[in-house]
Amino acid sequence: MKSIDIRHLSKLANIELDKKEEKKLQKDLDAIIKHIQKIHEVDTKGLPETIHPNLTSLMLRNDKVGKSLSRDVVLLNKENSKDGYFTVERLIYDDNQ
């Protein structure tokens, strides 16, 4: 089993790890992946996947607008909002800059 690429994973998971933590988590992750290899001992050929414990059919509701939170209430939890919108840093940028 090859060691997992923690840098790639931290990018997928959007978590910036410092060097020390990266080293510790690399060790932990390798140990966890080794441990969960156990599942390959089970023969599950032909068995369906269970994604949900009691899902018998898709649940539908009427296509009607229901009660929801107002924009003002939703924005209360954030200081950095402007004109009724959340503000964030630049989304489109050049990596080389």
Partner 1 sequence: MMTINDYLKLFDEGKLTPEELLESCCSKIDPDLNAFITVTKERARNAIGSVDGKIRGIPVAVKDNINVKGVPTTCGSKILKGFIPPYSATVVERIEKEGGLLIGKTNLDEFAMGSSTENSHFGLTKNPFDRERVPGGSSGGSAVAVATGSAIIALGSDTGGSVRQPASFCGLVGLKPTYGRVSRYGLVAFASSLDQIGIIGRNAMDVGILLVIIAGKDPLDSTSVTVDVQDYTDLDGSLEGIKIGIPEEYFIDIDEDVLEAVIEIKEILQDVGVSFPSVSLPTSEFVIPTYQIISYAEASSNLARYDGVRYGLYHSGVNFSDEIRKTRNDGFLSEVKRRILVGSFVLSSQAIGEYYEKALTIRSLIKKEFKDALDKVDYLLTPTTPSPAFKIGERFDDPLKVHLSDRLTAGANLAGIPAVSAPAGMSRNNLPIGYQLMGRPFDEKGLLSIVHQVEKIKPFELLGE
Handedness of CA 7, 13, 16, 19 (dihedral sign): negative
For residue 51, the minimal CB distance to partner 1 (Å) is 6
Kindly identify the residues of this chain, within the stretch 16-55, that bind partner 1 according to CB under 8 A.
Answer: 16-18, 21, 24-25, 28-29, 31-33, 35-36, 38-42, 44, 47-55
- The DSSP result for 29-94, as a single string, is HHHHHHHHGGGGGS--TTPPP-SSTT--S-----S-------HHHHHTT-S-EETTEE--S-SS--
For residue 68, the minimal CB distance to partner 1 (Å) is 10
- Residues of this chain that interact with partner 1 (CB under 8 A) are 4, 6, 9-10, 12-18, 21, 24-25, 28-29, 31-33, 35-36, 38-42, 44, 47-55, 59, 61, 69, 73-74, 76-78, 80, 86, 88-91, 93
